[in-house]
Amino acid sequence: MIFMVQDSYDVIIIGGGPAGSTVARYSAEGGANVLVIDGRDPIGSPLQCGELVPTNDEMRRLCPDVPDMDDLFQTPVHAISRKSTKMHIVPPSGKPLEFNFDGLVLNRVAHDEALVEMAKQCGAEFLVDEYVESVVENSVKLRSGKSIKAKIIVGAAGHSDPLRRDYWDEKSLKIPVKFVLMDGDYGDAVELHFGSMAPGGYAWMFPKSSGANIGLGIQKSFSRGKSMNKYANEFISKYDGEISFRGAGSLPMSGTIKNFVKGNYLLVGDSAGMVLPSNGAGITIAMVGGRIAGQVIAEHLKDGVPLSDYEKRWNKQMGKVMRNSKRSFKIGSILFRLPDSLLNILFNPLTRGIIWRAVTCRRMFWIF
């Protein structure tokens, strides 16, 4: 069905990934007239992801202040490749510490398509294959030359978001990430690897129903001149299946920026730094932020609720988890400069509780 883009909307959302589609879903559900603009067609392709998310139960444990997870996360069965119940945290020695972890390894493309569908069902419109060049006052300027107005403009375009680029003067640490999809049988446990194989970051192996998603991210300042490609090839070549897909991207790893709202502009998802740095979780966290932003936008348009309530509600729901995650990442960044031989000693049954608390964004010790 071809739809006619109007000249103006209540809300324009730049980017229809997990963050943007979720803002669209909740603001449209609350009565707003919403347009999402995305440069890709279809949204979500090509794949740029490790594809692991916690189950709803695991999210309740990780983020206890976020309400009503089952309304927010309605992952359809066809978007789930495999359920996992174990996580292995693997030091350089290769001898894993094993933890119970309820995770879903997704078919991420199908997952993002389902979020777009949910937003459409609530009444949001989508304009795809159209890049946003810039935003000037209330106008969103498209690469095709068209310009569309909105009362509220949301930047949900990830690390290259045009609103963030032009109106926020805050730097975030971004780590480059590479991954492959590989054929083979890799068991049930998801694996996170730490050490010199992924300096300042981590490597992963997430088993799918068939094959696995395998990749890593590094901090370039830790890499001692060795290229990202070399790190990626070395880690990936430990597994010996056929590679059916190669992808890359970048992850914001310094946590959320100070303010998400400036006048009638809002940022959400990766553009606002909504990734938990201690474990790289961005999909579900972008959706938590997206729901809050969407609800506040709808209440603002209907009842004049200030847009700054978005930041207040975020801090209430996610502030503690994000602070703990940032702290763990900073401590981890120092620890992971240590030689592998020392890391092998540090990852032991006595420290496993502390390591698990760090990865799951809780205070590592009772004092910090």
Ligand X SMILES: Cc1cc2nc3c(=O)[nH]c(=O)nc-3n(C[C@H](O)[C@H](O)[C@H](O)COP(=O)(O)OP(=O)(O)OC[C@H]3O[C@@H](n4cnc5c(N)ncnc54)[C@H](O)[C@@H]3O)c2cc1C
By CB under 6 A, residue 281 contacts ligand X: yes
Among 20, 103, 211, 294, binds ligand X (CB under 6 A): 20
Class of residue 192 by CB neighbours under 10 A (exposed 0-12, middle 13-18, buried 19+): buried
Binding mask 286-315 for ligand X (x = CB under 6 A): x-----------------------------
- Alpha-carbon span 338 to 92, nearest angstrom: 11
Per DSSP, helices labelled H in the chain are 18-29, 56-62, 69-72, 108-121, 162-167, 228-236, 283-303, 309-335, 340-346, 352-359
Binding mask 126-145 for ligand X (x = CB under 6 A): -----xx-------------
From residue 119, alpha-carbon distances to 72, 180, 229, 285 in Å are: 12, 30, 37, 18
Would you mind telling me the total number of residues written for the chain in this entry? 368
By CB under 6 A, residue 203 contacts ligand X: no
Q: Which amino acid is at 178?
A: K
By CB under 6 A, residue 158 contacts ligand X: yes
Report in angstroms how near the CB of residue 267 gets to ligand X at its nearest: 9
On whether the CB atoms of residues 187 and 209 are closer than 8 A, the answer is no
Candidate segments 151-159, 186-194, 335-343, 348-356, binder of ligand X by CB under 6 A: 151-159
The DSSP result for 278-297, as a single string, is: TTTB-HHHHHHHHHHHHHHH
Residue in this structure with the two tokens 């553009």, named with its chain if needed: 271
Of 181 and 301, which CB lies nearer to ligand X in the complex structure? Answer: 181
Binding mask 249-278 for ligand X (x = CB under 6 A): xxx-----------------xx----x---
Total residues interacting with ligand X, rule: CB under 6 A: 39
- Alpha-carbon span 159 to 180, nearest angstrom: 21
Among 31, 33, 39, 219, binds ligand X (CB under 6 A): 39
Report in angstroms how near the CB of residue 158 gets to ligand X at its nearest: 3
What is the contact surface with ligand X in residues (CB under 6 A)? Answer: 14-20, 37-40, 43, 48-53, 131-132, 156-158, 160, 162, 177, 179, 249-251, 269-270, 275, 280-284, 286
